[in-house]
Amino acid sequence: MTLEERMARHRQSVDRALDRILPAADQQPSRLHQSMRYTVLAEGKRVRPVLTLICGEMFAAPSAPLVSAGAAVEMVHASSLILDDLPCMDDAALRRGRPSNHLAFGESTALLAALGLLNLAFATLASLPSPAVPSERAGEAATVLAGAIGSSGLIAGQVVDLEAGESVTDLKTLEFIHSHKTGRLFIAAAELGAILGRARPRERQAVARFAKNLGLAFQITDDLLDATGDVATLGKDVRQDKGRTTFATLCGVEGARSLSHELIDHAVSALEPLGRRGAPLQDLAETIRDRHA
Ligand code: GRG
């Protein structure tokens, strides 16, 4: 199976699970549930849940719980997108090719939808225990995901990003921001697959190192696309980073590109302990090296 076929299959199973897990659009309070569905079910790349599913399959994780874990990761990601777009944060007007959640539903509903999604993500992990998934493993998955989001994870990255504002930031701070805002959820996504597949510590460490490097490379390519891409292809505002320090402004377009390639090389070398089993992850890394959207 090619990587494209594998990714399409994973995206489809995650989308089906999300549709099933999310409250129906007409369930009261319907505006809130519409708002939750609006961002999660909009067209996104689903790269984080795909990472969960590829890692889980690599370690023969049971399929249904693996897909649910991928859906939980995507709900957290969508929650972070809604929050990130709010006027008090990045104040972005366009997301996933549509008006941002707060522009479509109002700020208070958007905020509550983001909280509803977070809650639902953890409820989904709490429902994993079954003969195939002992409760300690579901608990470990929840602990990893909570750690990735919390005040030492995405939230830390966002706070430092907001504090930096438009002042010039050094490379170390920029790396801190994005290894937290983006990297931490990539790592958790990969680790959830490894946890459900009962990977050995060395194997879990390998996928976590892979995801750490891939997450940062993904963010750098995001900066490059913001600097060089267009709204129609990306489905979100471009040149949003104007006035802010990004990898592209700090290192120049070529410098940022070579940094992202270097990180992808590191990601691929992290897979060595996995031998041939790491091939789908290596292919995934190469799609990010070449990404245009
Ligand atoms: C409590 C969940 C939570 C978060 C609070 C708001 C916040 C802290 C963090 C913001 C994190 C964030 C939105 C980082 C940007 C990461 C990024 C590269 C987003 C774009 O991801 P893609 O390109 O988007 O995968 P699609 O739409 O394809 O899924």
153: containing domain: 3-289
CATH number, domain with residue 46: 1.10.600.10
Domain count, the chain: 1
Task: Give the whole-angstrom CA distance, residue 276 versus residue 291.
Answer: 24
* Residue 36 and residue 113 in contact, taking contact as beta carbons nearer than 8 Å: yes
CA of 182 to the centre of ligand 1 (A): 7
* Residue 224 and residue 253 in contact, taking contact as beta carbons nearer than 8 Å: yes
Q: Judge residue 12's burial from the number of C-beta atoms within 10 Å of its C-beta, 0-12 exposed, 13-18 middle, 19 or more buried.
A: exposed
* Ligand 1 atom nearest 46 alpha carbon: 29
Per residue of the chain (293 residues), give pLDDT as tens. Answer: 888 999 999 999 999 999 999 999 999 999 999 999 999 999 999 999 999 999 999 999 999 999 999 999 999 999 999 999 999 999 999 999 999 999 999 999 999 999 999 999 999 999 999 999 999 999 999 999 999 999 999 999 999 999 998 887 899 999 999 999 999 999 999 999 999 999 999 999 999 999 999 999 999 999 889 888 777 776 677 766 667 888 988 999 899 999 999 999 999 999 999 999 999 999 999 999 878 77
Residue minimizing CA distance to atom 5 of ligand 1: 155
Q: Is the beta carbon of 222 within 6 A of some atom in ligand 1?
A: yes
SS3 25: coil
